[in-house]
Amino acid sequence: KAGVTQTPRYLIKTRGQQVTLSCSPISGHRSVSWYQQTPGQGLQFLFEYFSETQRNKGNFPGRFSGRQFSNSRSEMNVSTLELGDSALYLCASSFPGGPYEQYFGPGTRLTVT
């Protein structure tokens, strides 16, 4: 079974721009979660989607948003990029309702200059 895929793997953007990242979950997994990983803050939960609905969101500003499509694929968007948004963005998929084992993709490395 193919794992979680994320595109692109690397991205360089300029402050003020916006960016869209994509995630395809493991076949059959309908829950998709997004995380931000930085050296200072570690891994932090961004949001979780199931059946095209955002069920929860972490403590991030409204510039961070996402969506999920009917095929469970998900995208996240960051608008008005700031230097502090430079991070590894990870997507994870799981079966909704448990068990709470989440399987991660390789991530998208975003650099904001």
Kindly list the residues in this chain that would bind other proteins in the complex (CB under 8 A).
Answer: 4, 31, 33, 35, 42-48, 50, 55-56, 58-59, 90, 92, 94, 96-107
d(CA 47, CA 31): 11
CB closer to other proteins, 62 vs 99: 99
Q: How far is the CB of 110 from other proteins (least distance, A)?
A: 14
Element (H, E) at 51: none
Q: Is the CB of 20 or the CB of 104 nearer to other proteins?
A: 104
CB of 5 or CB of 79, closer to other proteins: 5
Of the candidates 12, 11, 8, 38, the one whose C-alpha atom is nearest the C-alpha of residue 23 is 8
Cβ 94 to other proteins, closest distance in Å?
Answer: 7
Burial of 105 (0-12, 13-18, 19+ CB in 10 A): buried
What are the φ/ψ torsions at residue 27 (nearest 5 degrees)?
A: -55, 130
Residue 25 Cβ, how far from other proteins at the closest point, in Å? 13
Nearer to other proteins, 44 or 79 (CB): 44
CA-CA distance, 101 to 84, in Å (whole number)? Answer: 29
